[in-house]
Structure 1
């Protein structure tokens, strides 16, 4: 098992809260982490996977009896969003016998999970998001940043013995999502349409999100595309990065940018089979940008929010970190090793008023390239943000 930095944080929640919710995409390691957590607590556990018919029927018909007769155990319920009526029952059982660490609830669809569990378990549950591997986690197993970037952060894909096996894993992962999961989440379309939809999103990675263009290309309605995008976001497949435009008296781009969260899935959808193919492909720059943005976003502390900035006259910044209504850090991301800044970047910093600014390239060096600008790699950038109090430190 690859050590996950959330493990210690979730352990603390288990010592206080009766229930802990772990949300994240499929195959990210939620089940493995949950079983490791109860092992560390030296408490017996009972595991139910609601994708298995027997487990689903057991809990849907006899949840109260099963839980009541296993009070000394931590009960892990996987894919809990498949049995939403269980949440009111859990509330009653918790209130009748409130013990810390009694339930670990795993879910891969955030909106349904959060809505139902928040209604029933408010004050009784702590939530944590487990996402694909971060740089420090991958490096703990001697995996380099370029390998993590190319293969993405799903543990089984990252640890595949060859790129051929990595490609096969991605192929089956995407196929499962298209043929099973997305229909269960509410995307009722043919597998061929969904496959085209995902490929179109991959080709729009890092670009402004235009619902009408996507709808016209697929032959479906504008509102249907919006609904599909929302579902994919809830399933942790994509991320929408919103523009920053508060208190700026300029003509600002107000459409969000779209990114696939996992860089490995992005590369598979572009048909890339090796890292050398990636460097020769037009998507390489946008892929590196999305990879860096995702690594930074996952480390931001509470109260710090990510945006991008773009005006109609050419000022542009890949990532802006905002606390309250105050932009704190501007970040330019380049695949080129040359840290030279364009006029659009310097104009953005003038507009935003940030005194801490980073240009991130693969090589880095923590070098000052001009006043208030540091040239660094992604690991150095995260350290800079930690020192500024904007990012959480991994202990």
Structure 2
């Protein structure tokens, strides 16, 4: 497979299969889960089954106990959510009777713990991996740990200038990370692929666990979310635009999150920052899909100095960080910060001990002291809990901007220099 891109999740899957009876690989459709499972099977053997095959699905539904006892181990089952609770309970019985490690890999394109039709969680028996579309780190064959260095060695990031141009950044933003589109440059083909992708998820995947009243509701919701990327969600505005009640709109928001089309950044606060705006930000999980919904292309974005370019680049950075959390040694969570006094930081990265890194994203070539206004205020408010603040931009120059403040090229997320 000359076009196969090695995934940084492979090592984690290998490690977890040595430690747990079950590993669950979750992620959006077409993110590469099947390829990851097939590669694992080539190295370790076992049985691979996909419940997207109707005959195999029927066998699993008709006799889940027999289906769960296939040999040899490991048993790899794709689209596990389609098998329902009966299959999950059968798998639970197998691993309770035999406590050997590495018995099952269960893969699904819906968030395993939030699918309304599933009540069995396999808690205490399974580890979870989220496999997102390709990170730029994977595309350029790098394995950095920006987040760990951001917390532990900020000065080590002040190295050579970046070789990435504005055009490079906008190209990878619009391309997104779906492996199927990695080697496709024809805009018309990409547009058809994205349209079909959204339609399939809206008309099949979501309808397997939820009732959608209007066929175009999910595509419309995604378009509205794309138009407000990086903004806090105002409930009344969104439900009015959807021409539905807030309760229905809220349900639809949970559905698109369940199938990994969106992810949210919750608001961050401490007792020192109590005047926060409590609404989450919602991002599409692939900037290429967002660009498709906004009808944006790299050439047009080069000339766009408005909000659209900034929103797409922020979406790109948020998703690169989310992917990196999957392999980073810096255990952390992502949040956003905004208070009622107008202070706003695009991304807050918080470690379990309460230390934080703040990140602002700019889609221009110029970084000045004013770019750090909100980061410096947060630094002064938090004291030692504030480890460092970074402004990531198209500028090629890594530069210090005072106490615990640094400007970095966006490319340092995957490649310093």
Q: Same fold (TM over 0.5)?
A: yes
d(CA) in 1 for partners of 2:78, 2:89: 17
Give the CA deviation at 1:193: 2.7
Question: Corresponding residue for 2:397?
Answer: 365
d(CA) in 1 for partners of 2:98, 2:387: 52
Question: Corresponding residue for 1:293?
Answer: 318
Give the CA deviation at 1:112: 4.3
Q: Which moved more, 1:298-307 or 1:224-233?
A: 298-307
Question: Corresponding residue for 2:210?
Answer: 186
Q: Give the 3-state SS of the residue equivalent to 2:389 in structure 1.
A: strand
Q: CA RMSD in A?
A: 2.6
d(CA) in 1 for partners of 2:396, 2:258: 34
What number of residue pairs does the alignment pair up? Answer: 379
Select the residue among 324, 330, 340 that pairs with 2:358.
Answer: 330
Give the CA deviation at 1:114: 7.9
**Correspondence list, 1:233-272, <5 A:** 233-248=257-272, 251-272=275-296
Shift of the 157–177 alpha-carbon distance from structure 1 to 2, 3 Å rule, reads same
Give the CA deviation at 1:305: 1.8
Q: Which moved more, 1:237-246 or 1:29-38?
A: 237-246
Shift of the 49–374 alpha-carbon distance from structure 1 to 2, 3 Å rule, reads same
2:48 and 2:77 in contact (8 A); partners too: yes
Q: Quick check: 1:77 aligned with 2:77?
A: yes
Shift of the 40–286 alpha-carbon distance from structure 1 to 2, 3 Å rule, reads same
1:360 and 1:381 in contact (8 A); partners too: no
Shift of the 311–105 alpha-carbon distance from structure 1 to 2, 3 Å rule, reads same
Shift of the 322–383 alpha-carbon distance from structure 1 to 2, 3 Å rule, reads farther
Displacement over 6 Å in runs of 4+: 113-118
Shift of the 164–302 alpha-carbon distance from structure 1 to 2, 3 Å rule, reads same
d(CA) in 2 for partners of 1:111, 1:103: 15
Listed as ranges, the gaps of 5+ residues in structure 2 are 143-163
d(CA) in 1 for partners of 2:331, 2:138: 24
d(CA) in 1 for partners of 2:118, 2:20: 14
d(CA) in 2 for partners of 1:74, 1:111: 20
d(CA) in 2 for partners of 1:241, 1:311: 15
1:158 and 1:166 in contact (8 A); partners too: no
Q: Which moved more, 1:186-195 or 1:329-338?
A: 186-195
Shift of the 113–217 alpha-carbon distance from structure 1 to 2, 3 Å rule, reads closer
Question: Corresponding residue for 2:122?
Answer: 121
Give the CA deviation at 1:249: 5.0
Question: Corresponding residue for 1:389?
Answer: none
Question: Corresponding residue for 1:390?
Answer: none
Q: Give the 3-state SS of the residue equivalent to 2:128 in structure 1.
A: strand
Q: Which moved more, 1:369-378 or 1:260-269?
A: 369-378
d(CA) in 1 for partners of 2:243, 2:206: 19
Q: Give the 3-state SS of the residue equivalent to 2:357 in structure 1.
A: strand
**Correspondence list, 1:1-395, <5 A:** 1-41=4-44, 43=45, 45-68=46-69, 70-84=70-84, 85-112=86-113, 119=120, 121-140=122-141, 145-248=169-272, 251-272=275-296, 274-281=297-304, 282=306, 283-300=308-325, 301=329, 303-324=331-352, 326-342=354-370, 343-353=373-383, 354-381=386-413
d(CA) in 2 for partners of 1:115, 1:194: 17
1:81 and 1:112 in contact (8 A); partners too: no
TM-score normalised to structure 1 length? 0.88
1:356 and 1:372 in contact (8 A); partners too: yes
* Bigger relative contact order (CA 8 A; separation at least 6): 2
Q: Give the 3-state SS of the residue equivalent to 1:122 in structure 2.
A: coil
Shift of the 95–52 alpha-carbon distance from structure 1 to 2, 3 Å rule, reads same
Q: Which moved more, 1:314-323 or 1:31-40?
A: 314-323
2:78 and 2:107 in contact (8 A); partners too: yes
Offset from partner CA, 1:270-314 (integer Å, 9 cap, x none): 122x31123344411011012112212332356422222222222
d(CA) in 2 for partners of 1:19, 1:307: 29
Q: Which moved more, 1:120-129 or 1:73-82?
A: 120-129
Offset from partner CA, 1:199-247 (integer Å, 9 cap, x none): 1111111111112111112221111111211221121111211122221
